Structure 1
Amino acid sequence: MNIAFSSCPNDTFTFHALVHGKLPDAPEVHVTYADIDQTNYWAAHREGPEVMKISYAALPWVLDHYRLLSCGGALGRGCGPLVLTAEKEHDPSFLSGRTIAVPSDRSTAYLLFRLWTAQKLTENVGEIKIMSFEDIMPAVQTGEVDAGLVIHEARFTYPDYGLHMLQDLGEWWEEDTGLPIPLGAIIAKRSLDHKKVEKWIRESVDYAWEYPEDSREYVMEHSQEMSPNVARQHIDLYVNEFTRDLGEDGFAAIRSFLGRAAEEGLVPAFRMEDV
């Protein structure tokens, strides 16, 4: 079985057992480590491995050919993207007409940002500048952009750049909806036996929790010079009960998020029963 996911600690932790043959009934797995922008592109063009991690924001574009799996992804509370500025700002109106750096224009982070600004701003933001996520905080720090939308471990490291949080978009979403925030989805081509794939992924999550030390070397090998402490924080935040099973709250969050985005014209219309 071919699978693509990122080199981030939550993904390597989650899939360690499946990738390394720790599960007796699972097939041999071949991994492609790819940024979520790449997997979003592959899924939209029906390319890449048969199992992939993509952004929930990209899901409406791919439902004709892929099915959302109920486990392995990233969805939770207290784990949302952040809007950062160089100066300490408290009013969202600061962003009106400003240049904002974002890691992708087809990501959960960006959709959340658009939904939040639609609710909070009376005037539009200015230029949206797509940048690699590791370049965003330095760009805000130097004044190349007025604000940045950051994800992943940046929520732990932004004070190191002297930056300030204008808004935690996950916190806003949870207050506004009472639901967890959907981040990364695991999809599989519709030709696969989805029940079996879900079983293997769920067993891999269980193994990771039962034997956390087994995956340490693998996690750190792919963690892009992240400190062990930050890697551990990353795992603790993004690998949770929704990683093992989305459940009713998880699916409700996905439908709410994508339904609102469709109403705003930010994603294509789709059938709710396909999610």
Structure 2
Amino acid sequence: MKIAYSPCPNDTFVFHAWAHGLIEGAPQLDVTYADIDKTNYWAAERTGPEVMKISYAALPWVLEEYMLLPCGGALGRGCGPLLLTAQSTQGPEVLKGATVAVPSDRSTAYLLFRLYAAKQVQGDIGKIIVMPFHEIMPAVRDGKVDAGLVIHEARFTYQNYDLHMLCDLGEWWEKDTGHPIPLGAIIAKRAMNKSDLITWIQASVQYAWKHPAQSKEYVAAHAQEMSEDVAKSHIDLYVNDFTLELGEKGYAAVEELLKRAMDEQLVPAFDLALIRY
């Protein structure tokens, strides 16, 4: 079975057992490592593998062809994206007319940023630049952009660049809606057996929790020079009960995010019922 997920520690931790043939009855995986800025578009263009990790924000473009699986993804609290600047003691008004670097324009981080700006900024943002994730913090530090939207391990490392947090967009979202933050989703072609996929992914998650030491080498091999402590913090933050089972609270969060995004015309209109179908 062909699958694409990111080299980030949470994905390699979750899928380690399945990728290494440790899940009874599960087919062998042919893994492609790709960040969501690639898989989001592969799914929309129908060019990707059968199973993929994408952003929840990309679902409106793909749900006719792919189904959302209720496990294996990333959704939680205290794990949202950050909006960073080089100056301290600033409010959202600095975004008016600003140049902002983002890692993707089809991500939950981007939707949260735009939803926040729509409520908090009096006027238009100047310019949005899509930039590789690893280039954003240096670009903000060096004054190439006015602000940067960062995700994942940047939560733990942005101070190393002498940057300041303008807003924790996840914290803003949680206070504004009461919902957890939908980040990364696992999708599969609709012709596939959903029940089997859920069984295999949940077994892989449970194996990872039961045998955390077994995945360390695999996680480290793909962690892009991330320290072991940062990788562990990354896993602890993004792998949680929602990874095992999205549940009613998880589905409600996804629906709220995408309904708001549709209302702001940030995503194409689609049938929200497809999220659970």
Into which bin does the TM-score normalised by the smaller protein fall?
over 0.9
Give CA deviations for 1:16-60 in whole Å, capped at 9, x if unaligned.
001000111111111000111111111001111100000111100
Partner of 2:137: 137
Tell me, yes or no, if structure 1 residue 220 matches structure 2 residue 238.
Answer: no
Q: Distance in 1 between matches of 2:271 and 2:195?
A: 22
Amino acid at match of 2:3: I
Please name the residue that 1:121 is paired with: 121
SS in 1 for 2:230: helix
Give the stretch that moved more between structures: 85-94 or 13-22. 85-94
The superposition leaves residues 125-174 of structure 1 with CA deviations (integer Å, 9 ceiling, x where unpaired) of 11111100100000000000010000010010000000000000000000
Other structure's SS at 1:53 match: strand
**Alignment partner, residue 52 of structure 2:** 52
The corresponding residue for 1:156 is: 156
1:263 and 2:263 correspond: yes
Q: 1 CA distance for matches of 2:235 and 2:89? A: 30
Aligned to 1:32: 32
SS in 1 for 2:71: coil
Q: Where does structure 1 differ by over 6 angstroms across 4 or more consecutive aligned residues?
A: none
- Unpaired runs of 5+ residues, structure 2, are none
| Deviation for aligned residue 1:232 | 0.2
Number of the residue aligned with 2:7: 7
In structure 1, runs of 5+ residues without a counterpart are none
CA distance, structure 2, for counterparts of residue 19 and residue 89 of structure 1: 46
Shift of 1:90: 3.3
Secondary structure (helix, strand or coil) at the match of 1:72 reads: strand
Counterpart mapping for 1:187-266 below 5 A: 187-266=187-266
Shift in Å at residue 97 of structure 1?
Answer: 0.5
Aligned-residue CA RMSD (Å): 0.6
SS in 2 for 1:262: helix
Counterpart secondary structure, 1:192: coil
Q: What SS does the corresponding residue of 1:139 show, helix, strand or coil?
A: helix
Cα drift, residue 89 of structure 1: 3.0
Please list the CA deviations of residues 99-148 of structure 1 after superposition, one character each: whole Å capped at 9, or x if unmatched: 10000111111111000000101111111111001000000000000100
The answer to whether residue 100 in structure 2 is matched with residue 106 in structure 1 is no
Corresponding letter in the other structure for 2:228: P
Aligned to 1:273: 273
1:94 alignment partner AA:
V
Instruction: Name the amino acid aligned to 1:260.
Output: R
1:43 aligns with 2:47: no
Residues 217-245 of structure 1, C-alpha deviations (whole Å, 9 max, x = no match)? 00000000000000000000000000000
Q: Name the count of aligned residue pairs.
A: 275
Question: Aligned to 1:94, what secondary structure does the other structure show?
Answer: helix
- 1:89 maps to which residue? 89
User: Which residue in the other structure is 2:169 paired with?
Assistant: 169
**C-alpha separation between the residues in 1 aligned to 2:123 and 2:195?**
47
In 1, Cα distance between equivalents of 2:184 and 2:195 = 19
- SS of residue matched to 2:148: strand
Structure 2 Cα separation of the partners of residues 9 and 212 of structure 1: 12
**Partner AA of 1:90 in structure 2:** Q
Question: Offset at 1:180?
Answer: 0.2
Q: Distance between the aligned counterparts of 2:33 and 2:270, measured in 1?
A: 29
Distance in 1 (alpha carbons) for counterparts of 2:48 and 2:106: 18
Counterpart-to-counterpart distance in 1, 2:215 and 2:15: 9
Return the letter of the residue paired with 1:270: F
1:71 and 2:71 are equivalent in the alignment: yes
Measure how far apart 1:271 and its partner are.
Answer: 1.0
Counterpart Cα distance in 1 of 2:113 and 2:89: 16
C-alpha distance after superposition, 1:60-106 (max 9, x if no partner)? 00010000000000000000000000010331001110110000111
* 1:186 aligned onto 2:189: no
